[in-house]
Structure 1
């Protein structure tokens, strides 16, 4: 065993929010907020990060990506965008580091390359734009779901299929507020996937149905982040600030509907749910899955195939 991906237990990569900022509004959620409204509270952001870290670290290996003393890394905390460790490769020693679309995020690529090289991984950076596991989800075997059209280019999946023997089901994303794949698709098991079907075309959905059972997620609950979940063993982890909202408001009703939908799915399929308030990160248009990069997907290893 030479790296965290080879462990027979879940392993994740997080980054403490030392460089977290919202100066550059690089997605529609941020644009909708004033500069003042999206200004993060550093202490509160760290407290919320630590709550998530402690929960994951209690039953998995959590590596923390160092934050270099370099300006312009406002989104480094969102490690799901940093890259992906291809799950189907038997050596578990390869990582594809992202080639970011927003200018404000391009400095993260070098940080990721240096970190993974220092850990002994074989590191690849694609020529085409690609934004990590936030846009590329493993299903089973060598089959993945790849989102394209907003942050990631479709051509990058041609390269991945040639280079790594992958099969990528391509899903074109057009909803501006669901700008990464993890906003609308969440593989719950190796056989079942939560999908906001309203966001995709019929032909793509039919291709996906051949590989997984689709559990439909209405757009009304995808927008508040239902699909932006992470699985740890038999628990679905999701972000919710419902305790900070006033009952009877539109925001409260939307959050309540999202939480109840997630809990209904979890109960039906035998999962637990854990909710964390991450409202300092929603100022950046981000949800829970954005903060977590899988170094392996061991939580899925015991699903029936």
Structure 2
């Protein structure tokens, strides 16, 4: 099965002839409830975000993305009780391989503070004319399910999403999901360890997966290894927009010579080396306020299509 051609008159952003994404401005962003290990290890007074700084960082990110793509902003229906709504990668996933290009799977969240987001996602995508489904089993969106090419995806399970969700998707939508077991609580979504950078090549923190899982991946994609230290620092939490790889980095906020500074510099250099070999440019943007919620750049973007992956640079 091949990815369907876009119609002459698109009726939704997935059919748009250009990159399209869903973001959410951080009106409801909060870190009151610690729902991941990063937050649990940070005292509440240290992890409480500066609302003005968070909005300023978001607007810089929004400006960068909107300069080269179509961006929809997910409405925030209320200012509290939706602390993670800004992390739209978990809202759901658009099934890229279906000919109609109009189906979105909305998340059935494991994380208690996020359960209210399901209804918001259903309403938004229904209003856009999409066919909307919510699985009965646990699933946390695009952050857990990455499209490779045609009808082939990679799905992470074990911490926030269930393997049964991918088995249901395979039966229902005639797709193949390469299933990877997640075991590291610090890397609790697939986008922490896996980043498809082209249709043929995928960045993977291979140290986090079993040999048989990696062998399965290698049958479908060229695996480019990412070090554990760089995965922990957010290398795989990147996004591709045309020929640009965008990654979060607060390196200029860190004191030179410290361990955190050295890890961040090493991560940035590793990403720049990989991108350079493949013909990409790299842009780093500071999203430090959002790391207080245990999240990085890829968490803040839901792809409404994968247009950037439709051409090769080399």
> Which category of TM-score, normalised to the shorter sequence, fits these structures?
over 0.9
Measure, in 2, the Cα distance between the counterparts of 1:303 and 1:124.
32
Which residue of 162, 165, 184 maps to 1:175?
A: 184
Give the C-alpha shift of residue 70 in structure 1.
Answer: 5.9
* Contact persistence 2:154–2:180 (CA under 8 A): yes
Partner of 2:46 in structure 1?
37
* Contact persistence 2:27–2:79 (CA under 8 A): no
SS of 2:177's equivalent in the other structure is strand
Which residue of 202, 207, 213 maps to 1:193?
A: 202
Give the C-alpha shift of residue 275 in structure 1.
Answer: 0.4
Measure, in 1, the Cα distance between the counterparts of 2:172 and 2:66.
33
Give the C-alpha shift of residue 112 in structure 1.
Answer: 0.3
SS of 1:169's equivalent in the other structure is strand
Measure, in 2, the Cα distance between the counterparts of 1:242 and 1:71.
31
* 1:22 maps onto 2:69 in alignment: no
Give the C-alpha shift of residue 208 in structure 1.
Answer: 0.4
* 1:126 maps onto 2:132 in alignment: no
Unaligned runs of 5+ in 1: none
Please list, as runs of the form range in 1=range in 2, the aligned pairs for 1:183-222 lying within 5 A after superposition. 183-222=192-231
Please list, as runs of the form range in 1=range in 2, the aligned pairs for 1:137-148 lying within 5 A after superposition. 137-148=146-157
Measure, in 1, the Cα distance between the counterparts of 2:165 and 2:252.
41
Partner of 1:285 in structure 2?
294
Q: 4+ runs of 1 displaced by more than 4 Å? A: none
Partner of 1:155 in structure 2?
164
Unaligned runs of 5+ in 2: 1-9
Aligned positions, number: 305
TM-score by length of 1: 0.99
SS of 1:37's equivalent in the other structure is helix
Give the C-alpha shift of residue 90 in structure 1.
Answer: 1.6
Give the C-alpha shift of residue 91 in structure 1.
Answer: 1.2
TM-score by length of 2: 0.96
Measure, in 1, the Cα distance between the counterparts of 2:123 and 2:160.
23
- 1:70-89 deviation per Cα after TM superposition (whole angstroms, max 9, x unaligned): 63100000000000001111
